Every structure is written in C-alpha cells, then in structure tokens.
Amino acid sequence: MSMDATHRIELYGVTISAGDAWRRVPLVSGIVGMLGVVASVALGRGEAADQLYFSWLVAFLFFLSIALGAMFFVLVHFVCRAGWGVAVRRLSENVMATVPLFAALFVPVAAGMHHLFHWTDAEAVAHDALLQSKAPYLNTSFFFVRAAVYFTCWTVIALVYYRGSCRQDDSGDESITRRLTARSGPAIVLYAVTVSFAAIDWIMSLDPHWYSTIFGVYYFSGALVGTFSFTVLIAVALRRAGYLRHAVTVEHFHDLGKLLFAFSLFWAYIAFSQFFLIWYANLPEETVWYMRRLEGSWKALTIVLALGHFAVPFFFLMSRTIKRHRGLLVIGAIWMLLIHLLDIYWLVMPVLHAHGVRPALLDLTTLVGIGGLFFALFGWLLTRRALVPMRDPRLMESLSLENF
Amino acid sequence: MLARFAGPREIYGACQKVREAGYTKWDAHTPFPVHGLERAMGLKASKLPWIVLVLGLGGAAGAMLFQWWVSAVAYPLVISGKPLFSWPAFVPVTFEVGILCGALGAVVGMLALNQLPTLYHPLFNSKKFDRVTDDQFFISIESWDPKFDAEETSELLRRIGAIEVELVDH
C-alpha cells in the first residue's frame, strides 16, 4: 500500500469512535421507536383504528420518502459519474440501506388496508361502476404482489450499492465503481417505475375515483426535498461531533443547499402542473380532490403548503450567503423537512377527516415510532463503517470541490 | 503597462502583490482559468445575480399585470365560465416571461459589466500579448490608474517576478 493510500485511510477512514454519543443512537432511538409503536397500538384500539392506520401511513410515507430520496441521490452519483458529492455519499448510502426496514413497517398498512382503502370494500365496489372497471388493477392480491415487487427492487438496489461501496472501502478495487456505474442506468429506470407506482398505490388510491398522471413524480419531488434536508442536518450534526471535518466542507453544504433549493422549486413546478390541468379542465371526478383540500381548515393548510414549500424556500435558499452559512442552512433544512411532512399529511389525511384538519395524538406517536426505528437502523449503519467512501476513485475530486 | 509572468503560480503571487500595492485599474490575463485568481486579485462578488433577480421578478410581475389588464380590464371576456382574473391560467406565461427577462438580463448584464463590446483596446498593440490565448500569463496595469507611474510600476512588476515589462502604445 502506498504512502498516499495509508494517509488517505487515516484521514478519511474515520468511523464513529467508541464511547461517542452516536454509538448509543441505535439503542436509544430503537427503544424510543418501540415505545412509539406500542403507544400507537394502545391508542389506536376500537374507534381510533382508522386514525391509527392513517397516521401510520403518513409517518411511513414520510420516512420512506427520505430513504427513497437517498437511493436516488446515490444512483445519480453513478449515472452521472459525479465527483463532487462522494464525500457525502456514504451518508445517503446509509439512509438508503434502511429501505428493507420499511418492508416490515408496511405490515400495518397491509393489515389496515380495509380502514385505509375504500376500494377494498367489496360491497362498495359492487355498486360502483368506476371501481369495477378499475378492479383489474385495484384488487387486494395484485396490490400485495406489487408491494412485494417494489420492496424487492428497492432492497436489491440498496444492497447492491451499499455493499459495493463498503467492499471498495476494504479492497480499494476501482472496478466496483465501474460495475456500479454500469448498473445504475437500469437501476434508476426500475427506481422511477416502482416509486411512481408505489405512490399511486399507497397515496393516490386512497381516493380511488381520482387520478392524476403526474402523481408519482409529485411524491418523488417531495422525497428529494426530504432527503436533502435530512442529509444536511446529519452532516452538520456529525461535524459538530467532530467528524467529517476534513471531508465535508462549506462547498458541499453549498451544493446540498442548491439541490434543496432546486427540488423545492421542482416540487412547486410539479404541484402546480397537477393543479393547473385539473383546475382548467374542471372535470368533477378530478376537481373533487382539490375541492376537499380547498374547503374549511384544509384550505388554510393548502395555503401554508404553497407558501412554505415554494415561496419561503424560493427567497430564503436563493441566496449564496445563506447556503454557505451552516446555521442558516440548518434552519432551511429543518423548515423543509417539516413542510415535507406537512405535504404528506396533506396528501393523506383529508381522506379520513374530510371536513377539516383534526390533529391527533396518534399522528405524533406513529411519527415517533417509525422515526425512532428508522433512525435506530440508520444510526447502526452509520457506526458500522467509515463516514466517507474512503477509497472511491473520485473522493479526491470531491474533497477539492470549489464553487465559483 | 504589460508584464509577462512564467506561469499560474507566479501570476497568482504577483496578483496578490499588485493588489497590496494599491492598484485598482488592472487585470490579469491567462490562457486558462486559474482557480482562486479572483481572490488573489481581490475581486468583489459580481452584481450580476441582483440584476437577474430584479429583472426576473420584474418580468414575472409585468407579465401577470399585463394579462390581468388584457383579460379583466381592456377586453373582458368570460372563458369557460371562469372569473375574468383567473390567475392560475396566467401562471405559465408569467413563469416564462420571468425566465426570459432573467436570462436576457444575465446575458446583457454580463456584457455590460464586462464593458463589452469593446472594439479597441491598446493591449492588442503589443505583439507579445497575442500569446495570451496560447501559453503566456500577463498582468496589465492601466496608465490612468491613480497610482500609476511609468518607472515605479515597472520596477514593482519586475520585483514581483515579471519576466519582461512593456509599456504599450495607446
């Protein structure tokens, strides 16, 4: 091994040290998560079952979107042979690798499908011509087959890219990068199809009469906002704890901020495109979805969402100074993460509470539950490996990144 | 006054020293972008982003206003039963005009801030300067710089590593 390589491993092969607070994350967060799940189950008995399943779905979709967003970010690195982001790629790889957990967290969604999805009600379908014609797609067995396909695809992609990157840490074999690059094209196509259909199955079909052909992209655009916010927050937290100081610089934060800015605008573009066509065509079976969200207290939430997810970040994150200031970028990231959660809530909850916003304790407990388990697994993955893909052939390119 | 330097490293150091000496009307010319040179020269951040922002927002606002005036004031016409001022219908045009104005502002603003097109510049009277696009590195200091003095400036440039110094004709 050359001097250079030894030096490189010393500098960038840093793992979370024993005794560091991050080492306790898996256990503490796991316990908190379990308590959240237990509390949710306890609170969600009897009458509250509907609320339990809808709240669970919101929390599930929120954290899943962060993991799926990270998967896209990792894949895009290979598709574009991107150099700049290698120093932060390991963080996203760890987030991406939590995807198998969501297969387990999907079980309550499957169990509660009769509470969530109107189209599972055979009685209702029998009296509904539209649902009957959609039955070849919207039926229970095909729904499960599709879910199995999504989770299989995501798990395979996550494992291939996570393990490939880890193996390169050990061997320094550059052919791994070439192999992962060659597979990234097909992987990203598979990703696009599965994420789109998952969004259709798990969110759009809550309102089975309604349809929007852009819906998959809508969920995807929010997922990217979620994952970039999360990455910024984790990177800042790790730097605070004394890690990544040689690797992740203000230039990387600047670029993550740019992506956060770009995807909040992309979300606005997609959200408006969806709204615009439906508003203009004014067909009853399409407008009903927006009617519900533009009445009573839901209207207030819609306005908050439009301003908070578009106008606020547009002016706040536009400035170079803000993106390069860690404290201000953190404020932006927290804001975007919360507004992304609101976005998911706004997609799902009006189906249950048609006449107005009704916050419930279960919204909180399910978030703590799923979030806790997600963060526990993420924390465990984070402590297992170096925080930077230390022998990636493009690491040096990433470390010398500069924005002009 | 034109001074030739050996390479990127030399010109980087020289730029810092010219700046420290207090010159303001001067420039560096290199055959390829030298990273960090703008910091060595002490250049301030460009005003261009502000021009683009103002023009972009102005264009968008103007487009929305114009559509409102056309559809609700000058020629009120009910289209598919919607209100006269149906703002969502105007968003695509507003967006596009905003982008157009921002983009034109970026191009025209860039040219204006660079004082382009400049049809004549005395530097091109120097035969040696031709090689700036090939393999040579130069610093030029204008004779109308308040600190300019033919002898002193020439000596400074030599002291900070210039290989040759030339006073270029107007």
Cα A122 from chain centroid? 33
> What is the three-class DSSP state of B29?
strand
> What is the three-class DSSP state of B74?
helix
pLDDT per residue over A106-125, tens digit each?
Answer: 999 999 999 999 999 989 99
Report DSSP letters for A311-377, one per residue. IHHHHHTT-HHHHT-HHHHHHHHHHHHHHHHHHHHHHHGGGT-TTS----HHHHHHHHHHHHHHHHH
Residue A403 clears pLDDT 90, i.e. is over it: no
- In chain A, the percentage of residues whose pLDDT exceeds 70 is 97
Least confident span in A262-266, A351-355, B139-143: B139-143
Q: Does any CB of chain A come closer than 8 Å to the CB of residue B89?
A: yes
Rounded Cα–Cα distance for residues A15 and A383 (Å): 6
Instruction: Report CB contact under 8 Å: B53, A280.
Output: no
Could you tell me how many helices (H) and strands (E) chain A has, helices first?
A: 20, 0
Quote the pLDDT of residue A4. Answer: 64
Write the burial class of residue A45 (CB in 10 Å: 0-12 exposed, 13-18 middle, 19+ buried): exposed
Instruction: Report CB contact under 8 Å: A275, B35.
Output: no
Across-strand partners of B140?
B2, B27
What are A338's two structure tokens? 């919360």
Instruction: Report CB contact under 8 Å: A272, B80.
Output: no
Least Cα separation, residue B88 to chain A (angstroms): 7
Least Cα separation, residue A146 to chain B (angstroms): 36
Q: Does any CB of chain A come closer than 8 Å to the CB of residue B22?
A: no
Rounded Cα–Cα distance for residues A199 and A327 (Å): 33
Least Cα separation, residue B124 to chain A (angstroms): 29
Instruction: Report CB contact under 8 Å: A272, B91.
Output: yes
Least Cα separation, residue A296 to chain B (angstroms): 21
Partner residue facing A402 (CB), from B35, B53, B91: B35
What integer is the mean pLDDT of A337-362? 95
Report DSSP letters for B107-133, one per residue. HHHHHHHTT------GGGG-SGGGGGG
Partner residue facing A282 (CB), from B80, B91, B92: B80
CB pairs under 8 A between A and B: 15
Partner residue facing B89 (CB), from A280, A318, A402: A280
Instruction: Report CB contact under 8 Å: A320, B49.
Output: yes
Quote the pLDDT of residue A1. Answer: 44
- Round the average pLDDT of chain A to a whole number and report it: 94
Instruction: Report CB contact under 8 Å: B88, A279.
Output: yes
Least Cα separation, residue A293 to chain B (angstroms): 17
